[in-house]
Amino acid sequence: MKSTLENHHINNLQNTPGMRLFYKYGVHLLILRWSVIFASAVIYFTTTPHARVLVPPFIILIILISINLPVTLYIFSKKFYRKLNITLIFILDIIQGTLAVILTGGYSSLFFVLYLLSFFEAGLFFAWHLAAVWIVSIDLLQVAATTVHWTAVKVPVSTYDLVSRFIRLLVVGLIVIILGELLRREEENQRKAFQTAKDFKKLNFIMTELESASFTENRIFNILLSSILSLDNVLFAFIIYRIDALKDRWEIKATSNPELFPVGSTYYNLIHYKAETSLFRRSLHETEANHQFFKGGVSELIGLNLADYNEDNKGLLLIGKNDSPLPVSDETFFLKALALESQLILHNLYAFQDKQEQIKTLAAFKETQATFFSAAGHEIKTPLTILKTLQATLELTIPAPTENQQDILHTMKANIDRLDNLTTDILETAKLENSDLALHRKETDIIRIISNRIEALQPLADNKNQKILFKKGHVSENAATVYGDRKRLIEIISNLLSNAIKFSPVNTTLIVTLSRGEENAEICVYDKGPSISPKEQQNIFKKYYTSSPDKALTGFGLGLYITKKLVELHGGTIFIDTRTRWKGFCFTIPIFSKEHYHEPQKHC
């Protein structure tokens, strides 16, 4: 309780180094005061008083005690620790010392030690240059007191004695000034360290609060305003943003005093309030000051540059203060650090909002794109079905077509099939991206699927005199059961095999391999087609990516994208095999186990 009262008492003092030293060493000065009086009494009772005194020393001693008793009580009161009161006590000490010396022996007075009390008070209370002036003045005053006594009692004092004492007192005064300056600097450093630690603690708390604001602008503003109101002598604070750069029009977004500065109020011509640094000040008497902000006794306006993310996010935190006892430098560190923290948080907020807006726009675009392709695919499917029927009917109506007619029918069928495949790929892509594709996984014989697809695609390979080999290694029929969707596995293997046939030269061999691991089966399709560069390997599974300059071969760039998505839906991976001299695409599929019996079907 006592410590709390003392801290409250210190906070109410005028915040100058001399005041703080006087409060800190007030008890020591009281001890020195009474030590001086006690020393004078000891000298009086142990030595023979000087014969030429104007007033008996015992009377002066009684008067000094009578004066210093109430002074001591007054020093213990809170009223003492004000600059004017301390100055008055200091002058009183000089006066009582001078009168005691004049009345009790001048140069030989036993109360001469009272000047030492005034020396120490000057050294503690005043800065070194003012303390030097006071000490020289007191030293001259003791010379004057000695001269007055000399004149009154007709007892001459040699010039040597006067000069000698004057110099000795100056040396003592110099020591006191040095000691006072050292104490002053030590106290100032301690005060700054304490203030800095206090600011850091407050800033850490504010930063924690800001980080927990969850990118909410209003909550960030409220935290900033409450932290500013914790400073001394702050009358109001509000956050204002520029809403029209051309007209330099600003609008209040948040405020601590809605009566003076309501939210939504607009102001113009605040361009002078935008400083190059994070903090600026405007006093009531400056020409650049906007006097519409100087309300309710405000004498100074402090501004913090908050956000400068873009033209739409330029903000200020304006703080109205009256006269503060704190030095400007004491609060500048805190305010600048707060401004930098605020800029960082708000910059991240607006960057996050920008990114969220971009994500929403991109998602909307992708949804529109998928809807368009899906609708277009379905619309194309209908005429394609009619064209397929007409093409088949046309073949039947020509019993013995000529060579030219055969070429036309073949070209017609090839392009209808190509367009049909492209439409199917577009619809598959739309389903994958709309999460509208469900897998119906079950125990599946992967060897049978591979064998059937090789048999189905062999006629296509025969057109290029290509041979397809299936190497299943040591995998037995019973060990080749995977957990997958039969229809989608057929699609995966068909895509990889058809690509291998398409891009491999004539008169070459294609190899399909099957190997089994502990949890996955690995299927690879190797061919002698063009090698794939490292750069192409990074992009080849992306949607619409094509690597071959021959667009007739590459198609629309959806086959490998769909294949990769289907493999990943099965919980497998697809990759380009660089372990051999052949070009190979490999993918993995989980081996079937009893655990899969009750597993729910997976949706994309």
How confident is the model over 318-363, as pLDDT tens digits?
A: 888 886 555 555 677 778 888 888 888 888 888 888 888 888 888 8
How confident is the model at residue 246, as a pLDDT? 80
**Residue with more model confidence, 557 or 274:** 557
How confident is the model at residue 516, as a pLDDT? 86
For 498-507, the pLDDT digits (tens) are 889 988 899 9
Rg for the chain (alpha carbons), in Å? 48
As assigned by CATH, the class of the 442-598 domain is alpha beta
How confident is the model at residue 392, as a pLDDT? 75
pLDDT band at residue 53 under the 50/70/90 scheme: confident
How confident is the model at residue 277, as a pLDDT? 56
How confident is the model at residue 572, as a pLDDT? 92
Please compute the mean of the pLDDT values over residues 182-201 and round it to a whole number: 79
Highest mean pLDDT among 83-87, 306-310, 531-535: 531-535
Euclidean distance between CA atoms 174 and 204, whole angstroms: 44
Which of 298-302, 433-437, 489-493, 534-538 is the least confident region?
433-437
How confident is the model at residue 324, as a pLDDT? 57
How confident is the model at residue 35, as a pLDDT? 85
Res. 10: pLDDT tops 50: no
How confident is the model at residue 84, as a pLDDT? 64
Please compute the mean of the pLDDT values over residues 294-321 and round it to a whole number: 77
Which of 194-203, 308-317, 391-400, 489-498 is the least confident region?
308-317
Burial of 379 per CB tally in 10 Å (0-12, 13-18, 19+): exposed
Task: Answer yes or no: are the C-beta atoms of 472 and 513 closer than 8 Å.
Answer: yes
Res. 7: pLDDT tops 50: no
Q: Which two tokens stand for residue 314?
A: 């330029």
How confident is the model at residue 341, as a pLDDT? 81
- What value does the mean pLDDT of the chain take? 78
> In sequence order, what are the residues at sequence separation of 6 or more whose Cβ sits closer than 8 angstroms to the Cβ of residue 316?
239, 240, 241, 250, 270, 273, 274, 303, 304, 305, 306
Residue spans of alpha helices (H) in 104-127: 114-125
Res. 204: pLDDT tops 50: yes
How confident is the model at residue 323, as a pLDDT? 67
Please compute the mean of the pLDDT values over residues 246-273 and round it to a whole number: 83
Please compute the mean of the pLDDT values over residues 19-39 and round it to a whole number: 75
The domain spans of the chain are: 2-194, 217-350, 442-598
Please compute the mean of the pLDDT values over residues 138-156 and round it to a whole number: 80
For residue 522, list its beta bridge partners. 515, 588
302 in helix, strand or coil?
Answer: strand
CA angle 442, 448, 453 (to 5 degrees): 110
What is the pTM assigned to this prediction?
A: 0.48
pLDDT band at residue 5 under the 50/70/90 scheme: very low
Select 217-350's CATH number: 1.10.10.10, 3.30.450.40, 3.30.360.10, 3.40.50.1980: 3.30.450.40
pLDDT band at residue 489 under the 50/70/90 scheme: very high
How confident is the model at residue 1, as a pLDDT? 36
How confident is the model at residue 2, as a pLDDT? 38
